[in-house]
Amino acid sequence: GNSVTQMEGPVTLSEEAFLTINCTYTATGYPSLFWYVQYPGEGLQLLLKATKADDKGSNKGFEATYRKETTSFHLEKGSVQVSDSAVYFCALRLPRGFQKLVFGTGTRLLVSP
């Protein structure tokens, strides 16, 4: 079936450290890939997306590249801030799947000053 696997959390970093959150997927066809972020007490919001192989999504200093050969979409940021503390969800949408997204389990990021 279609699924998304994320690294277990929490990920604990100091401010200005480099961040990587791993995400791999299993899907039929060629899905679109997304990263959503959930700040404490809020709903999820779209962080970035990529719709085809080798596309790079970017937003707010975060980046992720759609790697078809490794079925991955790892999230990276060069220098995290305390305000980046949140839960990050990787997700996929199948072609012709309307807006039905399949989410990973989420990875909590904690950034300390």
Partner 1 sequence: NAGVTQTPKFQVLKTGQSMTLQCAQDMNHEYMSWYRQDPGMGLRLIHYSVGAGITDQGEVPNGYNVSRSTTEDFPLRLLSAAPSQTSVYFCASSYNGQGKAGGSPTGELFFGEGSRLTVL
Helix/strand/coil percent split, the chain, to 5? 5, 50, 45
Q: Which tokens go with 63?
A: 């980046």
Binding footprint of partner 1, residue count (CB under 8 A): 24
- Residue 21 as a binder of partner 1 (CB under 8 A): the answer is no
Residue ranges in 40-69 that form contacts with partner 1 under rule CB under 8 A: 41-46, 49, 51
Lay out the site mask for partner 1 across 75-104 (x = CB under 8 A, - = otherwise).
Answer: --------------x-x-x---xxxxx-xx
Q: Where does this chain bind partner 1 (CB under 8 A)?
A: 4, 32, 34, 36, 41-46, 49, 51, 89, 91, 93, 97-101, 103-106
